[in-house]
Every structure is written in structure tokens, then in C-alpha cells.
Structure 1
């Protein structure tokens, strides 16, 4: 029976955890409490006393058709980005794990997108996919108007979705490759001796054993798509055209910092936080049941 270790010096333990607790309080709990306070009060644009209004800010949010459009766009954006980023990273990790010639260079190259700031990714994709001078300009010369993110909302949505997905591929690749390298080689070698091909071993053995890592990346990517897409949207589309890329996080910014409606923005931020928490709970309740930890 293993004896449980105890730490008797409470003052020293408190000194070690105090900086972390302070950071969590200052940068998470305090802003969250402040946003909750603003969400139930009327915050003047240029300061002054707050007036308690109860749930009026939430009623105004839920009565806004543009807000529901941003919720739908955010959900579609999160699902699309997660599917593309995780799927592409899984394919890259499966083939990089085979140790083909130049695999070390591939591993380094595939991770690089995650090191690029979101604003730089947006600026790069904006120029690459420009309808006049970008990569697709030649296609527009053959078929005029086929690609124009400045005017077509679907094109703009695809543009930001690809940019967000490209940025997260490197992050997902690192976790998936590390998980693949920790899989028991004896099982895979036994399948190869039984005549299972490369693709069969990947699909029937490696992918099912990766479900804990895939579940973790699913949660991370969905959350990141909701909260870390602001810089990309701000640089590329500014929420347009015709609100096609107006995600929830960008609408919060416009209402809070452009329109100076802090209370409405605070109410939207609380709804966004509740939505992310709800999606996380659903994933644990539904998706985790299909995860194999052993």
C-alpha cells in the first residue's frame, strides 16, 4: 500500500500557489464578475453611476435578429474550423509518424502555422486570396466574379474559416503526433504481420487509440474558434460583407468599443461564456462516451 505524501508547511505551499491564484483572480474572476455586473446594469458610455436594469440587457440581446445571425455564424464557424483543422492535422500526423524521408523537416514545418499571430494570418490570407492580385486572381480572369470575399458573404466566410483552420493545424499536429508515438508498436506490427495494409492499420488501430487526444483537441478547437477569431476577422473582413462573418466575439467588440454600449456587450459576453460552457458539458456527456482510455 503506497503511503500518501503530505506537505506540512502551509505557509510555503501558500507562497507557491499565491502567484497563480492572483493571476487567475485578476485576469479571469475579476473581469467575469465585472462583466456580470455590467450585464444587469446600465453602464453610461462616458462614465457615471450604474443603474440596475435586471435582465433588460439580455432581453435586448435576444430580441436582436442580428445577434442570432452571429450565433448561427459562430456555431457554423466553430464546427467547420474544428473539422478542417483536426482532420488535416490527423492526416499529416499519421503520415509523419511513418518516418518517411524528410519527416523531421515535415514535423517542424507543420507546426509553424501555430507560431504565427492571428493578425498576421489574416493579413496573409487577405493578400493571398485577393480577387484582384492574389492566388485566385487568375481564376477570376477566366470566370469573372467567381471569387470575391469583399462582395460575396460565402467567399468571405470560407476565407476566414480556412485562415483559422490553417492556424490551428500546427497545434493539433503536435498533440496527435505525440499521441501516435506513444501507441504500442507491437499491436501495429502484429496487424502488419496479419496482412493489414497501411490505411487499414491507420483507420482500424491508430485512430481508435487516438480518441482521448481527439476528444481533447475537439474541445480546444471549438473553444478557440469562439474566442480567438477576433484578430482574424478584424484584419480580413470586419464582420462583412452583409454581416456574413459577424461572429459573436466580433459583435461584442463592435457593440462595446465602437458603439460604446458596454452593458449590451457585457450581456453578450455572458451569453458567449454560457454557450461555451454548455457545449463543453455536452461534449463530456455525449462525445466522451465514445472515447477509449484503455
Structure 2
């Protein structure tokens, strides 16, 4: 029979929970309350009394064409980055799950990029794929400006998406490999005896049984693509939102508005809109995609 801990004193559990409650209050509820307040007021950047302006901050945000550009860039970044990272992680997990010689080494190798901070990975890729001296210089020697993220916005957006995939494919690999190891080996062996090859076994047996894991990773990666600290760090370390705002994702624009433009009210309004956008995408995923997920 399971035993439960019972505190005879009423204040003792409160004392134990007080440090955690204090951290939640200081780093979650207090900032949320401040953002909600700033979104509906005109907050002076250097102190002073705030003026209530109602929905004016949101009107200013919605009438800014550069803001809608950041929304489009964020959607492209989150969707392409998330789906590509999940697909690559799935392919790597399927390859390692076959227990080929050296698979243990490759497990460590595939997980390793996830341990690298996003800004550090961005700086490394700036040198690796530099159009002047990096590997891409070979392409540019064949045809000038075949690869130039500093000049072309499409190249820059593909560049930061590439870094995101490199960073987070290892994260998806961990979960998908764990999911593959829970698939009954009897099913795989029976399919092999029936003449199914590795690709057919993966499509018909392994991937359908990974549906809950794939759905979890889809929600997680989409959220990371929109509001992740690595997303801001990668963009800040590589392109700084350029060229011509081609990589100005929403989270980077919010930080830039708040700390460089000192527009706290506008940044707060954009934060609320970003949270609403994430809620919409999450609702769509749970409403239409989770229906196809079978947990048993």
C-alpha cells in the first residue's frame, strides 16, 4: 500500500514551498503582469508616470508593415525549421536503431550539437559558410554571389534555418530513438520474415507507432521556433535581423524594440500578439493533428 507524507504542522509545507513560489512570482507572474500593464499604457523609457492609452499600442503594431513581415518570417522559420529537424532526427534515429557497427559512436555524435549554445553555433557557422573564406567560397568561385547571406535575404533566412536544424535535430533524435526502442521487436522481425525491407518496415510499422512522439516534437519545435532563446541568439549572432529585415523573426523584433528602441509598450503589445499566435498554432495542432495520433 502506498504511503503518503503527512505534515503535522501547517506552516512547515509552506516553508518548503516558499522558495519555489518566490521564484515563480518573481520570474513569471511579475513579468507577465508588467507586460500586460505596459501593453495598454505608454511607458516612458527613462522613468516617470505611465499614461493609459488603451488599444493604441496594438493599433500601432498592426499598422506597421515591418511587423507583418516579422510574422511571416517567423512562420516560415518555425514551420521549416521544426519539420526539417523532426524529419532529420527521424532518419538518424531509424539508422542508429538498426544496431549497425559503430552505432554507439554515432548516437553520441548526433546528440552533440544539442549541447552547443545557439549563439555559439551561429558564430561557428558564420565562419564555416562565409561567402568570402568559408566552404561556400568554393561555390562563389564558380559563380559570383551564388551564396551570400549578407546580400540576399532568402540566403540569410535559409542560413538561420539551417543553424536551427543543425542544433535541434539532435534533440528530436533523442526522443525518436527512445520511441523506436519501445517498438516491439517481434513486429519488426515478423515483417522482416515476410520480406519487408527496412524502408517498408519504417513506413508501415515504426513511424505509425511513433505518432505520439512526433506530435509532441511538432508542438515543442514549433514553440521553440517562435519564442525560443536559441532562435533569438542565432539571429542576433549571425544576421541581426538583416539583410533588409529578411531574418527579423518576432522574438528578435520584440527584444530589439524593447532594448534598442526603448519602446517598452510596443514590445509588450507584440509579446501578447506572439503569445496569441502560439496559442492559435497549438490549438490547430491539437484540434486537427492530434486526432490522427493513436496512443494505444
Q: TM-score, normalised by structure 1?
A: 0.95
Counterpart CA distance in 1 for 2:253 and 2:290 is 32
Counterpart CA distance in 2 for 1:12 and 1:284 is 40
Report the Cα offset of residue 254 of structure 1.
1.4
Change (3 A) 1:143 1:45: same
Structure 1 spans left out of the alignment, 5+ residues: none
Counterpart CA distance in 2 for 1:273 and 1:131 is 36
Counterpart CA distance in 1 for 2:11 and 2:215 is 38
Name the SS for the 1:234 alignment partner: helix
Counterpart CA distance in 1 for 2:283 and 2:18 is 29
Q: What's the counterpart of residue 37 of structure 2?
A: 37
Alignment match of 1:264 (pick from 257, 263, 266): 266
Report the Cα offset of residue 6 of structure 1.
5.2
How many residues are matched? 292
Name the SS for the 2:147 alignment partner: coil
Further displaced range: 214-223 or 17-26: 17-26
Counterpart CA distance in 2 for 1:5 and 1:127 is 58
- CA offsets, 1:82-136, max 9 Å, x none? 1110000000000101111101100001001110011101101111111100111
Q: What's the counterpart of residue 125 of structure 2?
A: 125
Counterpart CA distance in 1 for 2:21 and 2:83 is 35
Report the Cα offset of residue 15 of structure 1.
4.5
Q: What's the counterpart of residue 285 of structure 2?
A: 283
Q: What's the counterpart of residue 159 of structure 2?
A: 159
Counterpart CA distance in 1 for 2:13 and 2:205 is 44
Q: TM-score, normalised by structure 2?
A: 0.95
Name the SS for the 2:281 alignment partner: helix
Counterpart CA distance in 1 for 2:193 and 2:149 is 51
Alignment match of 2:232 (pick from 225, 230, 233): 230
Report the Cα offset of residue 33 of structure 1.
1.2
Structure 2 spans left out of the alignment, 5+ residues: none
Asked if 1:89 corresponds to 2:104, the answer is no
Counterpart CA distance in 1 for 2:202 and 2:15 is 48
Change (3 A) 1:187 1:18: farther
Q: What's the counterpart of residue 218 of structure 2?
A: 218
Aligned pairs (5 A) from 1:135-284:
135-228=135-228, 229-284=231-286
Counterpart CA distance in 1 for 2:278 and 2:15 is 33
